[in-house]
Amino acid sequence: MVKAALFVCLGNICRSPIADAVFLKIVTERGIADQWKVDSAAIGGWHSGSSPDSRATKTLTNHGIPYDGRARQIEDEDFLEFDYIFGMDDKNISNLKGQQPPESRAKILLLGDFDPEGDKIIRDPYYDSGSEGFEKCYQQCVRSCNGFLDQLEQGKI
């Protein structure tokens, strides 16, 4: 049975595309990519149709991860289609829970809750002047995605 994971941040051009790409890379490395559908989306539609922030793309490229997704806004159907919807911060979680339809089957989770280093909020690097914040975001996503998959494998989720 295929599971589905959706990564959500405010605009879908920084954190969620990084998390999407990282998760896909990890499930591919673990040999379970065929068991997962992976995507990302935004709380708001300001950037719909746009490529990720160039600093996000550069960070992924620096780690050998291609990404060609486009920003989109989360829709009610996503709550029915995805098993796990990950927010990057508490505000994302609040917005997601507020939008979640009653018939939703999705578990809404804070991605950082799975970071073994306890870094619960995935840093939003959008307003940074450089790319250091994007690297921090990437590292948080790597730890958190691995942590989630480990806990899922152990039956803790």
Which is catalytic among the residues 15, 55, 123, 143?
15
Is 15 one of the annotated active-site residues of the chain? yes
Nearest to 150 by CA among 26, 22, 10: 26
Q: State residue 86 phi and psi, 5-degree precision.
A: -100, 125
Is 9 one of the annotated active-site residues of the chain? yes
Is 113 one of the annotated active-site residues of the chain? no
- CB burial class (10 A; 0-12, 13-18, 19+) of residue 81? middle
61-70: string of b/e by CB count within 10 Å (b at 16+)? eeeebebebe
Which is catalytic among the residues 20, 55, 124, 145?
124
Which is catalytic among the residues 9, 14, 141, 145?
9
> What residues are annotated to the active site?
9, 15, 124
